[in-house]
Amino acid sequence: MSLTASPESAVPAWLVDRLRAAGGAVPFRTYMDWALHDPQHGAYGAGRLQVGPAGDFATSPSLGPDFAALLAPQLAQWLAQQPPDAPLALVETGPGEGSLALQLATALAERWPELAARTTLLLVEPNAGMAARQRRLLEACPLPCRWLSFAELQAQPVRGVMLAHEVLDALAVERIVWDGALWRQQQVALHEGAEARPSLRLEPGAPLPPPALAPLEPLGLLQPGPQRTPGFTTELHPALAPWLAEAAAGLAAGQLLVIDYAHEAWRYYAPQRRNGTLMAYRQQRATDDPLLEPGHWDLTAHLCLESLQSAAEAAGWTLLGQRRQGEALLALGLAQRLHGLQQGSGAELPQLLSRREALLRLVDPITLGDFRWVALARGEGAGGQAPAPLPLFLQDPPIG
C-alpha cells in the first residue's frame, strides 16, 4: 500500500537530490527530520512556521497570557523546593515564538520576586530561524536569559525547572506498516518517470528485524489475531529516549514538565486508529498527508504515554504524575479566573469576553483540553525518603 503526494505538491529540488543520493528512498523518520529541522529547508529549521491564531497553528500560550499565569504557580512551587541560596534556572526547550517564556518570566518577576532574583531563563532552541524570532521578542524579558544547546547545558547542569511544551511531538517518528503477516518500516520513496515530474510516495519497506520487534510487545502490537488489517500504519518514538537522556544530563536537580498530545498505548494502537496520529498543519489547515510541500508544513505525532514513561525511567527520571490539561488548569485556579472575568463591564467587556473564550479553549476536551501534562523529576525529592509535596496541578481529585 502506498500514498502519493497530492499533485499540487511539487517535490523541491533539494529533496530530490537527497533522495537520489540515498538510493531513492529513506525511512519516514529521516524524511520527517529533514522536513522539520533542516537548517535551510526545514519548516522549523528555516524559521518558516508562525505560531499563533493568525499563524500556522495556535498553541495554549499563543491564545493570551492566562495560560502562563495559571502555569506559573506550579513552576514557582518547584523552584521554591531548591536550596534557598542556590542559583535557579527556568529552562524552556523548543520555545516556539518565545511568548510562553516571556509570559512566565514576567509572572515570576511580578509574583515571586525573591525566586525571580535567583532565576535565569535558559532557552534550548536547535533551529536558528526560530531562535532569531525569540531573541527579538525576549529583548523585554525581566529575567536574564541565554540561548544554549543541550551540550552546553550538560557542561554546566542547573537546578530548577525544565519545560517541554509541544516539543516532543515534533521529534521525528518511525512509521511502521502491518502487511497482514509482518511489520514493515514505512519509507518515503522518490518516483521519477521519463515525462512525469518527480513525486513522493509512502511505501512499506523492509520487515522489521527481530531486535526492533521487542519494543512492540508491551505496546500490544505483537498480539495474534485479526485485530489489525493489512495497511494498518502507526508510529513509534525512538527519539524520546535520547532526548530525555540529554535533558536529564542538563538538569542536576528539579522537574521536567512535558505538555503534549498523548494517548495510552491501548488507545494509540487501537485497531480502529489505522492511520496512526500523524498530522500536518499550515495556515490553520490540517491534513493527514505528510508529503505536501516538504519543509513548509508542521508535522506532528501524538506521544504514547507508556513509551514516554519507559524512556524517562531509563534516562533516570522519576514520574511524579500526569493528567489532562483541562483537569490540570482547573486544579491551578482556572474556575476562579473565569469567575473573575465576570466582574468587568463597559469598555473592558470585549477584552474580557475574548479572554473567557481563550480560557474555555484551553480546557475544551475536543481540542487543547486533551493535552497531557506529565511531570518528571530528578535529583533531591525525586523519590527519596522525604519526597516533595504533590505538584499543585495534581492536588485535587480527578474530574468525572
Provide the grid cell at 371: 493535552
Instruction: Give the integer Cα–Cα distance in Å for 108 and 226.
Output: 54
For residue 107, report the phi and psi dihedrals to the nearest 5 degrees: -65, -40
Count CB neighbours of 77 within 10 A.
18
Crossing angle of helices 349-363 and 66-79, rounded to 10°? 60
pLDDT of the residue at 398:
44
Q: Are 80 and 145 in contact (CB under 8 A)?
A: no
The DSSP letter of residue 269 is T
pLDDT, residue 9, reads 61
Per-residue pLDDT of the chain in tens (400 residues, 90 and over written 9)? 445 554 446 899 999 999 999 999 999 999 999 999 999 999 988 888 777 776 667 787 877 889 999 999 999 999 999 999 999 999 999 998 899 999 999 999 999 999 999 999 999 998 888 899 899 999 999 999 999 999 999 999 999 999 999 999 999 999 999 999 999 999 999 999 876 789 999 999 999 999 999 999 999 999 876 678 999 999 999 999 999 999 999 999 999 999 999 999 999 999 999 999 999 999 878 899 999 999 999 999 999 999 999 999 999 999 999 999 999 999 999 888 877 777 666 667 677 677 777 777 877 877 777 899 999 999 975 655 456 799 999 997 544 4
Domain ranges of the chain: 325-375
Q: Residue 386: what pLDDT?
A: 58
Q: How far is CA 333 from CA 56, 61, 102, 290, 362, in A?
A: 30, 16, 21, 38, 13
**Cα 221 to Cα 175: distance, rounded to the nearest angstrom:** 13
pTM of whole model > 0.95? Answer: no
Q: Would you give the DSSP letter of residue 370?
A: G
Quote the distance between the C-alpha of residue 130 and its chain's center.
15
Q: Residue with C-alpha cell 537546578? A: 159
Q: Nearest CA to 31 among 46, 44, 42?
A: 42
